[in-house]
Amino acid sequence: MEMICYSAVKQDHWHLYIAKTERGLCYVSSPGATIEELESKIKKHYPESILYRNDEALKPYREELQEYLEGKNREFTLPVDIKGTVFQKQIWEALKKIPYGETWSYSEVAKAINRPAAVRAVGAAIGANPVLVTIPCHRVIGKNGAITGYRGGLELKRYLLELELEGNK
């Protein structure tokens, strides 16, 4: 039985839940998610887990995420512990290579992993990213420059892209 702790991150009008295993951050919710949604997502990937609140254990993660959302921090240094397919993990690793303040298209991500025809699969893997913001899936936009779907909502995606653009000036 795996113990997974969670906490809430509140910054301006964003309210997110975060969760971690003993190995690292395993989930960042969409803004406004309920505790029931958090439990459901955790059970999906960790069916034998027990989820409990532990604000102290997640304090460094909360602080790092809050500093990022405030534009005081450009990268995440704390460990993550995410579950996914080999392909999903390959995509998530590619996302980490997108520089702060820059964007790639879905096709550029597909090319980065030497699978240029896998654009739709890339989109699905990006949508399955369990740790929003931390793995920067918000930096992926449509080929035409359009801001496209985001599990965290388009409002958060726009906010993050603008925040990073400002931080690069």
**Residue written as token pair 């964007």:** 103
Quick check: is 5 catalytic? no
Please state whether beta strands 25-28 and 49-53 pair in parallel, antiparallel, or not at all (unpaired).
Answer: unpaired
Dig out the tokens for 128 from the structure: 């399955």
Handedness of CA 56, 45, 79, 109 (dihedral sign): negative
Question: How far from chain centre, in Å, is Cα 135?
Answer: 5
Rounded Cα–Cα distance for residues 60 and 49 (Å): 22
CA distance 131 to 38: 12
94, 137, 140, 163: the catalytic one is 137
Residues taking part in catalysis: 137
